[in-house]
Amino acid sequence: MKRRAFLRRVFGLVVFLSVLVLSCARGRQPAVPADLILEKGAIYTVAEAQPWAESVAIAGGKIIYVGDRSGAARFRAANTKVVDLAGKMVLPGFHDSHAHPVTGGVELGQCNLNDLNTKEEIFAAVRRYAAEHPEKIWVQGGGWALPVFPEANPTKEELDRLVPDRPAYLNAADGHSAWVNSRALEMAGITAKTPDPKGGHIEREARTGQPSGTLRESAQGLVSKLIPETTAEEYLAGLEAALALANRFGITSIQEADADEKILDTYAELDRRGSLTARVLASIYVDPEKGLDQIPGLVLTREKYKGRYLRAEDAKIYMDGVIESHTAALLEPYLDRPGDRGTPLVEAERMNRLATAIDKAGFQIHIHAIGDRAIRMSLDAIEAAQKENGPRDARHHIAHLELIDPSDIPRFGDLGVVANFQPLWAYPDLYITKLTEPILGPERSRWLYPIGSVVRNGGMIAGGSDWSVSSMNPLDAIQVAVTRRALEDAAGAAWLPDELVDLPTMIAAYTINGAYLSHQEKITGSIEAGKAADLIVLERNLFEIPASEIHKVKVVLTLLDGKEISGTLPKGTDQD
């Protein structure tokens, strides 16, 4: 007792003296001098205790102070750079919780047909690419929109006119169909006599039975297997291009949605070079056919790819395909195909066993599920894993979530499964009005992308782009989630207005919730002292503009660990 009292007195004296020393130093040199102070900004911290601030001080890549201007001044020293934000907005760096940066980046160097809305535009883009790249043995690329062509069926004759001299292979935007020319069909030996491969379909001319130029699902492989494999250099260049784009949109953390060893090697190489400009959590592809035997291999892969910014702790399982091509697994049949409700890619028993074993091995499970049946089976599998292994801080998640049966909506909150939405898809474009609603009917279509319902029922939402399937810009997705209208529609009714969410909810989805989903919420995801300085500066305050203008706002600066990875700091004033 005595001894403790004595120690307390000594301790108190030490504290007193330290405070005295620190107070004397103040005014000259702060205890921790800031490298950078951003001041006079609209800083939205995403931290409950202090949602708004005007200044943030950074030292050694970390946030050391958030608050008012005079508070930040205490960290100002001779070498501190001070930047007047002039009211610009600051947010935590964005998290894209589902993207394909390596393969998408490779596509950037190929013939890019994304976001072209007419045949004429698509034809012109193919012709231009072929002319600019005489050195390419194959004309390869993709992104053409299915609704542009009658029955989503472009022809080989159309492509022959654009690329007469070489084989050409162009993926549809959803990746489930390919458009090829006569040269490619000849090389693959596909004729009127070639049967459809299992799980695929060769579109044919009605009169002759000859292949017409579009290949569906596994039939794509008949041609794609002939294309020379992408090299490691092409992967590296692709990832660098994708990261530059991501950083320009303010993204500082990414969940790679589907990684094999080649893709992981690409991340690891950039990480080693110090040029991986985002924190990456990779999802390792799991082949359901290989069953439990592959789990020791997954564990070895996880161990192998631990880097400064790289981790491979997610395991990716595909439960189904997509609604437009009737490959999503539904609880009730497609309206235009009596009796057909799509087939899950993994059978329920096998999925439960697989999920249980992967959970037990300490992985986070990342499931692709689009149809209401696939989503229910995914929730069932996670529930089975929890029952068998006991609760664990796993943070499993399901991505895409296009059609959720209302009875399953509360299960996200109940099971602690994060709903990883691609909110940019949640407005009535041609995919919805022409290819989805007609085959689901109005009753089911009410439950397309039920983001608001998941939030109201206690589920956590995160946001991902699924780039290169759709735009990587988080502000595009945030705008659609808060308007449920096309980006260019300044006014009008929201589609399924009960599913609207507000701006703070969406900013959280792309920041702190993304950080939580990658087990990084103590490091990043909000602007708080002690966290990494992963920050972005936006030219306008998102809370002060009409929602329809959110997608036009530019990110002018992106910092990762306090380092400028996109944009440049405005000229600062140095101390006095």
Is 565 among the residues that bind Zn ion (CB under 5 A)? no
3 state SS of 542? helix
Residue among 104 and 141 whose Cβ is closer to Zn ion: 104
Is 174 among the residues that bind Zn ion (CB under 5 A)? no
Pairing of β 200-204 and β 573-574: unpaired
Structure tokens at 82: 């001070």
Interface with Zn ion by CB under 5 A: which range of 128-136, 189-197, 466-474, 489-497?
Answer: 466-474
Residue among 73 and 108 whose Cβ is closer to Zn ion: 108
Distance CA 397, CA 255 (A): 12
Distance CA 69, CA 408 (A): 48
> How many residues of this chain interact with Zn ion, rule: CB under 5 A?
2
Residue among 180 and 322 whose Cβ is closer to Zn ion: 322
Is 320 among the residues that bind Zn ion (CB under 5 A)? no
- Residue 53, CA distances (Å) to 50, 477, 487, 538 in order: 7, 25, 30, 15
Q: How far is the CB of 467 from Zn ion (least distance, A)?
A: 9
Site for Zn ion in 250-289 (CB under 5 A): 257
Interface with Zn ion by CB under 5 A: which range of 64-72, 424-432, 460-468, 481-489?
Answer: 460-468
Interface with Zn ion by CB under 5 A: which range of 30-38, 85-93, 449-457, 461-469?
Answer: 461-469
Instruction: Residue 155: name the closest of 209, 206, 117, 212 by CA.
Output: 212
Are 447 and 372 a contacting pair, CB within 8 Å?
Answer: yes
142 CB-side CA count, 13 A: 24
Instruction: Residue 449: name the closest of 428, 476, 418 by CA.
Output: 428
Is 462 among the residues that bind Zn ion (CB under 5 A)? no
Alpha-carbon torsion, ordered 233, 237, 240, 241, to 10 deg = -160
Interface with Zn ion by CB under 5 A: which range of 54-62, 407-415, 418-426, 463-471?
Answer: 463-471
Q: How far is the CB of 378 from Zn ion (least distance, A)?
A: 15
Q: How far is the CB of 470 from Zn ion (least distance, A)?
A: 10
Is 466 among the residues that bind Zn ion (CB under 5 A)? yes
Residue 374 has what DSSP assignment? H
Q: How far is the CB of 398 from Zn ion (least distance, A)?
A: 12
Q: How far is the CB of 216 from Zn ion (least distance, A)?
A: 19
Residue among 352 and 470 whose Cβ is closer to Zn ion: 470
Q: How far is CA 447 from the centre of its chain?
A: 22
Distance CA 216, CA 225 (A): 14
Q: How far is the CB of 556 from Zn ion (least distance, A)?
A: 29
Residue 433 has what DSSP assignment? I
Q: How far is the CB of 19 from Zn ion (least distance, A)?
A: 54
Residue among 174 and 203 whose Cβ is closer to Zn ion: 174
∠ CA 330-319-381, nearest 5°, is: 95
Residues lying near Zn ion in the complex (CB under 5 A) are found at: 257, 466
